Amino acid sequence: MTRKVILGNGNMLICFDKNARIRDFYYPYVGQENHVSGNIHRTGIWVDGQFEWVNENDWELLMKYQKDSLVSEIFAYNPRLEVELIINEAVHPTENVFVRHVKVINKSSKKREIRLFFSQRFDIAESNIGDTVYFDPKLESLIDYKGKRYFLIGGESQGKPFVDYATGGAGGVGNKLGTYVDCEDGVLSKNPIEHGAVDSAIGFHLDLEAGAEGEANYWIAVGKKYSEISKLKSFILNHGAHNIIKHTENYWNSWIDNKKIDFYELGEPIQDLFRRSLLIVRAQTDNHGAIIAANDTHTFHFKKDTYSYMWPRDGALVARSLDKVGHKDITTKFFKFCSGLISQDGYLLHKYRPDGSFGSSWHSWFKGNKIQLPIQEDETALMMDALWKHFIKHEDQEMIREMYEPFIKKAADFMVSFRDPETKLPRESYDLWEEKLGVHTFTCATVYAGLEAAKNFAKVFGTTEDFNRYDQAAKEVKEATIKYMFDSEMGVFIKGIYYDDKENMKFDKTIDISTFYSLFEYEILAIDDARLVETAKKTVEKLWCMCQCGGLARYENDMYYRKWDAPMNPWIISTMWLCEYYIAKAKKLEDLKPAEDLLKWTTEKALDSGVLSEQLEPHSSKPLSVAPLTWSHAGFIIAVVKYLERYAELNKK
């Protein structure tokens, strides 16, 4: 299930499913800890003895954002109840406060009492053991707490607090159904306290004439102790829920407008998705520096794990997208965060949690009976390449000087040494898709780019000896890549090589988008090189989705989230890499048309809210796997910026 809307401020992130229900609530890091973990926060309406929870089956439901902001705009109409809801929600940009404003419209021809309910289910610190929820008469709020995590739940209508509440045992524990069920008769129990696995609900009563409107505000404040949430309650009352939402809207409007971009002839849908992508990338980035891949607990079904990690691969490419539009404040934190993660031997591991601890992994420390580093070397190399591009853009001398010895030199020395002395290729590591152990063209190309970056850094901050060593290693890797990865019989570059148990070299001839992309992106070959042209041609022939959806798959016979009887799933990032290829080889303005078509294709595949998924179902174009995927949005940003840069160059000719 995708997350159609996400709202956050870098300390907390809240994700909503297609039924406008909170399904993920992260604090104090984006991506860690999830205090809802796929449970459900619901919104319901009782009127004339009838009750409905808001969902897309029984309601006409449209979920969007307000333009260029991280404020939701949700329209929900129930023809049976004759009730319409207009909902705006926001996470304050600096205070850990979530606010929801609900306009309730009585679409009936008679006066009615309409009761509005909100139910909450927190599993604080990702556990349903030992929580407490109680009604606090002093704060006129529900307090849900455990240890150093406090959640204040409150609201008001017509200047008065909520009129109804209940606390109780959460559903799925013993024979409990859950306190949310108490809402369905229109009256809550007012049970004042419960502990263990708990949930709660609050209610508002609105008397509305025919066709009239009423309003209610709801909020959740988060802190590490009672005094924090008490102050946040005062903050909400002093500023007002409506003003908090408006301030949040203005803040993000200003953040977007801060970077003036000339889109030339690119249409409004592409411009809108570009700005939406920047906002989503920002929401998925933690204030401590970690850029998180995705925060969609739908993936719990897959080995009980999520995408809520910082992959150095994803992070480096996302940082490139932010640097391209000048968000130095975010990328500087990211590179400093990564500088503290590098191992003593100079490599980055598979993935990390937002607090900097090592994440879960499936990369083995053994191959047969020999030790094998459990890494994707491209992650270390990509970080070096992204850091150099950051330096070129921002010339942050002080930061790079501080990072040179502990990070840059250490990583560069590792890449020089982690090579086969005979072939000069990098040693075996896992591919960028985290599946195959071998020596891959993509990895070789990124290592070349990483060593080139190290050489450039050494020229400014290091020694002549460092410069010469990195320069020589870079040349050797480039030459070895061309020598070993090009198949003269097929006339194309292959995915890579691997070694059997007897250390015999074997060839992996899988057609993979990353192969041809890395050849031109990391300057192994010139864009017009006949070998690259043929590799690109074969890649598109094999991987383009011939179904209604269109788009490009990752590699031949990719089975991740694929139905056995269906074609390969197209990915956003794969399609954007093809878009970058068309941009790079354009010689005149008309040559940019295929790239523009792929940018338009991406806008058409986004959800109404502007969210991009990881991949798409080939027949229906429905999102598959996680959404939003930060990498997908970053890929779109990079492609648009490259398009605009190339357009400007060609327009001068």
* Same domain for 183 and 36: yes
Q: How many CB atoms neighbour CB 147 within 10 A?
A: 11
User: Domain boundary at 501, 534, 567, which?
Assistant: 534
Q: Is residue 145 part of a domain?
A: yes
Give residue-wise pLDDT tens across range 622-637: 999 999 999 999 999 9
* Same domain for 449 and 585: no
For residue 603, the 8-state DSSP code is: H
Q: What is the pLDDT of residue 566?
A: 84
The one-letter amino acid at 112: R
Which of 532, 520, 527, 382 is closest to 447 using CA atoms? Answer: 382
How many Å apart are CA 629 and CA 314, to the nearest integer? 10
* Same domain for 643 and 526: no
- The two structure tokens encoding residue 545: 């989705």
How many Å apart are CA 589 and CA 647, to the nearest integer? 7
Which of 270, 264, 268, 262 is closest to 598 using CA atoms? Answer: 270
* Same domain for 607 and 524: no
How many Å apart are CA 258 and CA 32, to the nearest integer? 29
Please give the radius of gyration of the chain, using alpha carbons only, rounded to the nearest integer: 27
Q: What is the pLDDT of residue 176?
A: 83
- The two structure tokens encoding residue 105: 């419209």
- The two structure tokens encoding residue 411: 């990583």
* Same domain for 502 and 421: yes
* Same domain for 507 and 588: no
Which of 211, 338, 362, 218 is closest to 285 using CA atoms? Answer: 338
Residue 93, preceding bond cis, omega within 30 degrees? no
Q: Is residue 361 part of a domain?
A: yes
Q: What CATH number corresponds to the domain at position 383?
A: 1.50.10.10
- The two structure tokens encoding residue 365: 């420390």
Q: Is residue 191 part of a domain?
A: yes
Burial class (CB in 10 A: 0-12, 13-18, 19+), 332: middle
Q: What is the pLDDT of residue 303?
A: 61
For residue 125, the 8-state DSSP code is: G
Instruction: Name the region of 562 (left: φ>0; alpha: ψ -120 to 50; beta: rest).
Output: beta
Query: Which position has the token pair 């391209």?
Result: 324
* Same domain for 559 and 529: no
- The two structure tokens encoding residue 428: 């075996």
* Same domain for 25 and 161: yes
* Same domain for 109 and 89: yes
Q: Is residue 379 part of a domain?
A: yes
Q: Is residue 205 part of a domain?
A: yes
**What residue spans of 302-409 are helical by DSSP H?**
312-324, 328-339, 377-394, 397-403
Torsion of CA 229, 235, 236, 240, to 10 degrees: 180
Find all residues with CB under 8 Å of 2, minimum gap 6, and list them.
17, 18, 296, 298, 607, 611, 613, 623, 626, 627, 628
How far from each other are the two terminal CA atoms of the chain, in whole angstroms? Answer: 48
489: domain range?
A: 327-534
Q: Is residue 310 part of a domain?
A: no
Give residue-wise pLDDT tens across range 543-582: 999 999 999 999 999 999 998 888 999 999 999 999 999 9
3-state secondary structure 11-43: CCEEEECCCCCEEEEEEEECCEEECCCCCCEEE
- The two structure tokens encoding residue 490: 């097929």
Domains in the chain, number: 3
Q: What is the pLDDT of residue 516?
A: 96
Q: What CATH number corresponds to the domain at position 142?
A: 2.70.98.10
- The two structure tokens encoding residue 43: 């919104």
- The two structure tokens encoding residue 553: 């798959």
Instruction: Name the region of 211 (left: φ>0; alpha: ψ -120 to 50; beta: rest).
Output: left
How many Å apart are CA 368 and CA 390, to the nearest integer? 40
Q: Is residue 106 part of a domain?
A: yes
Find all residues with CB under 8 Å of 9, minimum gap 6, and list them.
91, 92, 93, 94, 95, 96, 287
Q: Is residue 569 part of a domain?
A: yes
* Same domain for 382 and 274: no
Say if CB 233 and CB 141 are below 8 A apart. yes
Q: What is the pLDDT of residue 302?
A: 57
User: Domain boundary at 168, 199, 232, which?
Assistant: 232
* Same domain for 91 and 170: yes
For residue 199, the 8-state DSSP code is: E
* Same domain for 451 and 363: yes
Question: Which residue pairs, CB below 8 angstroms and at least 24 apart, start in 545-549?
Answer: 545/569, 545/570, 545/618, 547/618, 547/619, 548/618, 548/619, 548/620, 548/621, 549/605, 549/616, 549/617, 549/618, 549/619, 549/620, 549/621
Say if CB 498 and CB 508 are below 8 A apart. yes
pLDDT less than 70: residues of the chain: 1, 298-303, 653
Q: What is the pLDDT of residue 304?
A: 73
The one-letter amino acid at 176: K
Q: What is the pLDDT of residue 649?
A: 96
